[in-house]
Amino acid sequence: DTGVSQNPRHKITKRGQNVTFRCDPISEHNRLYWYRQTLGQGPEFLTYFQNEAQLEKSRLLSDRFSAERPKGSFSTLEIQRTEQGDSAMYLCASSSDGVSTDTQYFGPGTRLTVL
Amino acid sequence: QQPVQSPQAVILREGEDAVINCSSSKALYSVHWYRQKHGEAPVFLMILLKGGEQKGHEKISASFNEKKQQSSLYLTASQLSYSGTYFCGTEISSGDYKLSFGAGTTVTVRA
């Protein structure tokens, strides 16, 4: 049983460029989450999917961010016109229907550095 | 609104105990505890649901006090492997799913 995988693990880009990250959830997990984590802070919720439907987006998420989950399997997170403030670790998590709540399992993250 | 964790950091010798607190200004449905080591993904420890139950994972246990909107994580007889940053993630209502995380408590266990 493989865990959540994310690619690339590291991305360095210049300000103004577009970047795309990929997340492959645990097989058969129907929910997929994106979080952002900066140094010294806990993960901050960005958005989540149930199957292929994007059910919620954080109000903090700028229009430059977009996420997709075609066919309810892997997901991509795109950041357009990157800014230095976008530098962070982008974490993906997945979960399946729990009895009362879900356990979210995190991937290793993609560390983005915007120069 | 993210929960508040205390203390920010704690240093222990092997075999010592510690308590990490997670407090919210809002009523909570569930509290999820994770441990993250430097450069790695957060690793799930346990979930506590509204109802005040206490759970355990080896010598790590936790409680949830609904009235105080607070959860506590207990590290008992700490081991070197317990070092890392502990985060609590809170869920406001059933079906909310998204978690709000505290800033973390860094635990260092020394031999």
A110 touches chain B (CB under 8 A): no
pLDDT at B97 over 90: no
Nearest neighbour of A109 by CB, restricted to B32, B41, B87: B41
Helix (H, G, I), strand (E, B) or coil at A43: coil
Could you list the pLDDT tens digit for every one of the 115 residues in chain A?
Answer: 579 999 999 999 999 999 999 999 999 899 999 999 999 999 999 999 999 999 999 987 889 999 999 988 999 999 999 999 999 999 999 998 766 678 899 999 999 999 9
Q: Rounded to an integer, what distance in angstroms lies between the CA atom of residue A110 and that of residue A13?
A: 13
- Encode pLDDT of B29-86 as tens digits: 999 999 999 989 999 999 998 776 666 667 899 999 888 899 999 999 999 999 999 9
- The residues, ordered by sequence, that sit 6+ positions from B110 with a Cβ below 8 Å of its Cβ are B11, B12, B13, B14, B80
Does the CB of A104 have a partner CB in chain B at under 8 Å? yes
Best A48, A95, A104 member to test B by mutation, with max B CBs in 10 Å, is: A104
pLDDT in the model for residue A1: 55
CA–CA distance, B50 with B27 (Å, rounded to integer): 9
pLDDT of the residue at A71: 87
